Chains A and B, each alone.
Chain A
Amino acid sequence: MSNAATQKRAFSAVLWDYLTTVDHKKVGILYLMGGGFFFLLGGLEALIIRIQLIKPENDFITAGLYNEMITMHGTTMIFLAATPLLFGLMNYIMPLQIGARDVAFPFLNALGFWLFFSGGILLNCSWFLGGAPDAGWTAYAPLSIQSPGHGTDFYVMGLQLSGAGTLMSGINFLVTIVAMRAPGMTYMRMPLFTWTTFVTSVLTLFAFPALTVGLFLLMFDRMFGSAFFDVALGGNSVIWQHLFWIFGHPEVYILILPVFGVFSEVLPTFSKKRLFGYSAMVFATFLIAFLGFMVWAHHMFTVGLGPVANSIFAVATMAIAVPTGIKIFNWLFTMWGGSIVINSAMLWALAFIPSFTIGGMTGVMLGSNVADYQYHDSYFVVAHFHYVIVGGVVFGLFAACHYWWPKMFGRILHEGMGKLAFWTFFIGFHLTFFIQHFLGLMGMPRRYWVFLENQGLDTGNLISTIGAFFMTIGTIVFLINIVYTAVKGEKAPADPWDARTLEWTIPSPPPFYNFKQMPLVRGLDPLWIEKTEGNGKMTPAEPLDEIHMPNGSILPLIMTAGFFIASFGFIYQTDHKAWLIALYAGMAIAIGCMVIRSLKDDLGFHISKEELEREAD
Chain B
Amino acid sequence: MKGWMGKTKALLLFTMLSLFLTACGKENLTALVPKGYGAESSMNLIILTTLIMVGVFVVVMIIYVIALVRFRRKKGQEDFIPKQVEGNHTLETVWTIIPIVLVLIMGVPTVIATFDLADTSNASENINIEVTGNQYWWHFNYDGEEIVTSQDLYIPTGERVYLNMQSSDVIHSFWVPSISGKMDVSPENVNTMYIEAFEEGVYWGKCAELCGPSHSLMDFKVIAVSPEEYDQWLSDMQAVDPEQEPQDTVAQEGKELFEANNCMACHAIGSSPAATGPNLTNFGDRTTIAGILEPTKENLIDWIMDPESIKPGNKMTGAYPSVSEEEANSIAEYLLQLKPSEITPESAGN
Contact = CB atoms under 8 A, between A and B. Distances in A.
A-B interaction: yes
Contacts of A271: 71, 82
A457 to B, nearest CB: 7
A510 B2 CA distance: 71
A337 B217 contact: no
B114 A311 contact: yes
B211 interface: yes
A371 B106 CA distance: 11
A443 B181 CA distance: 11
Interface residues of A, number: 90
A140 B171 contact: yes
Interface stretch (B200-208, B233-241, B319-327): B200-208
Contact of B170 (A64, A146, A340, A450): A146
Given A272-B81, A310-B114, A374-B31, A143 B181 contact: no
Given A339-B82, A354-B61, A374-B46, A364 B177 contact: no
Given A335-B68, A376-B208, A236 B188 contact: yes
A373 B86 contact: no
Contacts of B110: 311, 314-315, 368-371
B23 A63 contact: no
A276 interface: yes
B17 interface: no
B82 A441 contact: no
A530 B182 CA distance: 60
Interface string B191-221: 1000000000000101111111111110100
Nearest to B187: A231
Contact of A272 (B41, B82, B99, B217): B82
Interface string B67-98: 11001110001001111111110011001100
A280 B93 CA distance: 10
Contacts of A456: 22, 25-26, 29-30
Interface residues of B, number: 92
Interface stretch (A206-214, A316-324, A552-560): A316-324
B82 A337 contact: yes
Interface in B294-308: none
Contacts of A573: none
Interface string A265-280: 0000001111011111
B107 interface: yes
B210 A325 contact: no
B274 interface: no
Contacts of B207: 445
Interface string A476-510: 00000000000000000000000000000000000
B45 A339 contact: no
A270 to B, nearest CB: 9
A446 B182 CA distance: 13
A336 interface: yes
Given A326-B95, A378-B208, A443-B204, A63 B26 contact: no
B184 A370 contact: no
A570 to B, nearest CB: 24
Interface string A556-586: 0000000000000000000000000000000
Interface stretch (A163-171, A299-307, A406-414, A511-519): A299-307
Nearest to A273: B82
A311 B108 CA distance: 9
B312 A361 contact: no
B92 A443 contact: no
Contacts of B114: 307, 310-311, 314, 369-370
Given A322-B100, A329-B91, A441-B30, A357 B57 contact: yes
Interface string A353-372: 11001100110110011111
Contacts of A63: 213-214, 216, 312-313
A550 interface: no
B168 to A, nearest CB: 11
A62 interface: yes
Contacts of A279: 87
A142 B170 contact: yes
B49 A368 contact: yes
A310 B183 CA distance: 13
A143 B211 contact: yes
A442 interface: yes
A66 B216 CA distance: 11
A445 B30 contact: no
B74 to A, nearest CB: 9
B182 A373 contact: yes
B64 interface: yes
Contacts of A203: none
Contacts of B49: 364-365, 368, 371
A421 interface: no
Contacts of A238: 186, 188
Contacts of B117: 307, 370, 373
A144 B280 CA distance: 31
Contacts of B175: 377-378, 445
A446 B211 CA distance: 12
A503 B146 CA distance: 76
B84 A273 contact: yes
B115 interface: yes
B57 A67 contact: no
A274 B81 CA distance: 11
B56 interface: yes
A107 interface: no
Contact of A443 (B29, B72, B82, B180): B29
A370 B63 contact: no
Interface of A: 62-64, 66-67, 134-136, 140, 142-143, 146, 231, 236-238, 271-274, 276-280, 302-304, 306-307, 310-311, 314-315, 318-319, 321-322, 325-326, 328-330, 332-333, 335-342, 350, 353-354, 357-358, 361-362, 364-365, 368-374, 376-378, 438, 441-443, 445-452, 454-457, 459, 532
Given A447-B210, A449-B217, 19 more contacts: A134-B213, A140-B210, A142-B170, A236-B188, A274-B84, A277-B86, A304-B191, A321-B103, A330-B87, A333-B85, A370-B110, A374-B39, A376-B181, A445-B216, A448-B216, A450-B216, A450-B217, A452-B292, A456-B29
9 contacts: A134-B213, A231-B187, A274-B85, A278-B86, A339-B80, A365-B49, A369-B114, A371-B46, A447-B215
For the complex of A and B, list the 8 residue pairs with the smallest distance between their C-beta atoms, beginning with the closest.
A373-B181, A442-B25, A456-B26, A448-B216, A63-B213, A277-B87, A361-B53, A307-B118
